[in-house]
Amino acid sequence: MWRYGLTILIAVLAISGIGAYYAIGRLNHLPEYKLETVQGEPEEGAAVSLSGSYLGDMRSEPLNVNIEGSIYRSEDKVFRKRMMDARSWFYNQPDIQKLLKDHKSFMRGKGYETGFYRDEELVIYADVTTKGLNSDAQKSVLRLSLLSEDSGKVTDFEQTILEMPDNGQLSIQDVQRVDDEAHLLFRKYIDRGITEELVVYVFDIGTGEQLRHSTLASWSDKNKYKSDAQTARVIASDYISAPQDMIFVILNGKEYTYSYRSGLLTELTDPLWHKALGTGMAHSLQQDNFYYSEVRQDRIVLSRYNFITKEQETSYVTLTAEQLGVGVIKSALIRSNRVYLLADDKAGIPGAAVLDLANGELLYAGRAVEVGDEGKTGAELSENLRLLNINIVEKLAD
């Protein structure tokens, strides 16, 4: 009799084990999400990628969500590598993708993120290293590589551009071409960054010879780690390698434009913006226009400034969350001729919207849904899915 009891016990344990296996498997299952189009054309939302975390089963799993689906860091080795790679955004830039596609050999080993320039005739790459740091022989060594688009010929130059006995180091901020000259904008850090300078060095493209240099601004602040420390910010073109004569500089609260061709740093008499408490900012420098915005939970306001005409159009577009059909606007990005918004709908479900930069027209609106369970309520979905960042991943056309 006991043998029958033992058999029954084994069967019960086996069934329990199978049940536990499937229960654990179900608990470990990570739901799939995607951006569902609510309004407009899906193509307009194709570049949008929302990142954040899935909160479930007493754990948090980082993920990205787009119109194609979701990718969890734990499930995708490529995604995991990108999440841990602080420079992954660099390789998502379409102009860098194009350089890698067109000139794979030239791009090998070139990763100084702000060191690229490209036009129809020439590609310029620059990087700089400091040798003999904190010694009497300290110097900065600049390497310039120039690639002819027509012939494919590469010319390399190396220059010792500055003797620096002051513990200074150089960081490239931007590279531009003016006729037969390469103009390099550096930020110079002196005495561990207590003193800083913005300096432009000019080189002959044909010979690599240093022609001249000028200091645009210099500032020193022993309290640099305090909230009111003096600082400078350089805003160049959205795309790393794009030709751009004018750049925008914010220095100690004052706003300037700088022209590589004229060499003039000009203070704006009518500042473009004042960052108000409780607002977010988005901006974009595109050829002759500088776009900037004020982002609040209940509205987004777009403004622009033309470098050529000096015309400033403040609040040329104002859109409320109600007009956009969302509950809360969280953040914004301006890219090319589009404005990308991260926003929760009125039910608290995270999603995105795409606007035409020229006039604010709503081109796309989408929200996150769980694939296979689109009927999940806003409360249920927003409780488990926290999407806190919006990224733009542009792909090259075939």
Query: What pLDDT was estimated at residue 58?
Result: 66
Q: For residue 280, is it within any domain? A: yes
Q: Residues 98, 162: one domain?
A: yes
Query: What pLDDT was estimated at residue 281?
Result: 82
Q: Residues 230, 323: one domain?
A: no
Which residues is 170 bridged to in the sheet? 188
Query: What pLDDT was estimated at residue 169?
Result: 83
Question: For the range 176-179, what are the long-range contacts, defined as Cβ-Cβ under 8 Å and sequence gap of 24 or more?
Answer: 176/117, 176/243, 176/244, 176/245, 176/260, 177/117, 177/119, 177/122, 177/124, 177/205, 177/243, 178/245, 178/260, 178/261
Q: Residues 311, 222: one domain?
A: no
What are 50's two structure tokens?
């929302």
Query: What pLDDT was estimated at residue 251?
Result: 84
Q: Does residue 350 contact residue 368 with C-beta atoms inside 8 Å?
A: yes
Q: Residues 51, 123: one domain?
A: no
Q: Residues 282, 395: one domain?
A: yes
Q: For residue 309, is it within any domain? A: yes
Q: For residue 19, is it within any domain? A: no
Q: For residue 54, is it within any domain? A: yes
Q: Residues 147, 100: one domain?
A: yes
**Of 238, 261, 295, which marks where a domain is finished?**
238
Q: Residues 101, 233: one domain?
A: yes
Task: Return the half-sphere exposure (C-beta side, CA atoms, 13 A cut-off) of residue 82.
Answer: 18
Q: Residues 229, 102: one domain?
A: yes
Q: For residue 18, is it within any domain? A: no
Q: What are the φ/ψ torsions at residue 101 (nearest 5 degrees)?
A: -70, -40
- Enclosing domain of residue 187: 94-238
Q: Residues 295, 202: one domain?
A: no
Q: Residues 159, 207: one domain?
A: yes
Query: What pLDDT was estimated at residue 262?
Result: 95
Instruction: Report mean pLDDT in 10-residue bins for the chain, 398 residues.
Output: 51 47 47 93 95 82 93 66 55 86 92 92 94 75 94 93 67 96 92 81 94 89 54 86 93 89 92 64 90 93 92 94 95 94 93 96 95 64 84 78
Q: Residues 311, 385: one domain?
A: yes
Q: Residues 217, 277: one domain?
A: no
Report how many domains make up the chain: 2
Q: Count other C-beta atoms under 10 Å from residue 99's C-beta.
A: 21
pTM of the shown model: 0.82
**Of 238, 253, 284, which marks where a domain is finished?**
238
Which residues is 127 bridged to in the sheet? 143
Q: For residue 24, is it within any domain? A: no
**Of 238, 260, 280, which marks where a domain is finished?**
238
